[in-house]
Amino acid sequence: MSKRELNYEYCDQLVRDFEDVIKQPILSKSSVYYTGVDLGTACVVLAVLDENYRPVAGAYRYADVVRDGMVVDYIGAIKIVRELKEELEEKLNTELVYGAASIPPGTDGIDSGAVKNVVEAAGFELTNMLDEPTAANNVLKIENGAVVDIGGGTTGISILKDGKVIYVADEATGGTHFSLVVAGAYHMPFKDAELYKRDPKHHKELLPVLKPVVEKIASIINRHIQNHDVKEIYLVGGTCCLGGIEDIIEKGTGIATHKPKNPMFVTPLGIAFSC
């Protein structure tokens, strides 16, 4: 079995475990807990690991507190992170002290302060801040290639060479744009289109409608990787849950493209690993 398949096996198992503990947290006697806080454009996710870095609890909420990677509702963001933290503390019967967070690549000068303040104001001691694709790679453990994180508002690209990040970029195209296209094509309010899009039952029918936006993302990827020797692309982020997105990106870039079974929770788990 190739290293890549092994990575995905590990990643898929980890995400499956995380999905399980979102439904049913594991009460452990861990001496310490590490929480990853993913403050996303569409979704705020908290992932809790125990002292052995195993997922023990998690929670998420769709929210509108971040746009294109920037915190736009500071008070709302603190409230959601605090509420999710309290919910998990009650379930685990412990206090969650240590938290790490991430920001889209390239926005550190602008927004890392806001994200840091949100996480600290919600009651965490912030232990680390890192960019999203780098966080995802804590789980994927890719040595060479590009990790592409297609979230709600943005697409983050991180190029790795011999296990080191050598290039990061972030562009304002993501799942929100997909929902806008669905809203337009189906004459639906945005909120309904967002829900319609997330339902895997609709993915086959939606793929041709969304193909131009996916092709735009492929062209964004091409622009950023053109001066690098990228032979593999690894997709993460909630938008990559769309069935068939990997085929369009592979065709548009001409580069072998892979995605884990559930790309949605890779980044929050990777953030928790960095805690």
* List of residues contacting ligand ATP (CB under 6 A): 38, 40-43, 66, 69, 132, 151-154, 174-176, 194, 197-198, 200, 237-239, 241-242, 264
Q: For the CB of residue 53, give the shortest distance to ligand ATP in the complex, in Å.
A: 21
Residue 177 C-beta: closest distance to ligand ATP, Å: 9
- Least Cβ distance, residue 134 to ligand ATP (angstroms): 13
Closest separation in Å from C-beta 94 to ligand ATP: 26
- The one-character DSSP state at 230 is -
Q: Under DSSP, is residue 173 helix (H, G, I), strand (E, B) or coil?
A: coil
Please give the structure tokens belonging to residue 4. 């890549």
Q: d(Cα 83, Cα 190) in Å, to the nearest integer?
A: 26
Q: Which is nearer to ligand ATP, 30 or 195 (CB)?
A: 195
Q: Give me the least distance between CB of 2 and ligand ATP, in Å please.
A: 26
Count CA atoms closer than 13 A to 99's CA, side-chain side.
27
Q: For ligand ATP, which is the closer residue by CB, 159 or 245?
A: 245
CB nearer to ligand ATP: pick between 64 and 86: 64
**Nearer to ligand ATP by C-beta: 85 or 197?**
197
Instruction: List the structure tokens of 175.
Output: 């799942």
Query: CA–CA separation, 164 vs 249, rounded Å?
Result: 24
For strands 232-236 and 164-171, give the pairing: unpaired
Q: What is the CA radius of gyration of the chain?
A: 18
Alpha-carbon distance of 260 to 241, in angstroms, equals 9
Give the total residue count for the chain. 275
Closer of 29 and 201 to ligand ATP (Cβ):
201
Q: By C-beta, is 101 or 160 nearer to ligand ATP?
A: 101
Query: Which is nearest to 39 in space by CA: 127, 154, 141?
Result: 154
Cα distances from 260 to residues 60, 121, 148, 243, in angstroms, run 20, 33, 12, 12
Measured from the CB of residue 205, what is the shortest distance to ligand ATP in angstroms?
A: 13
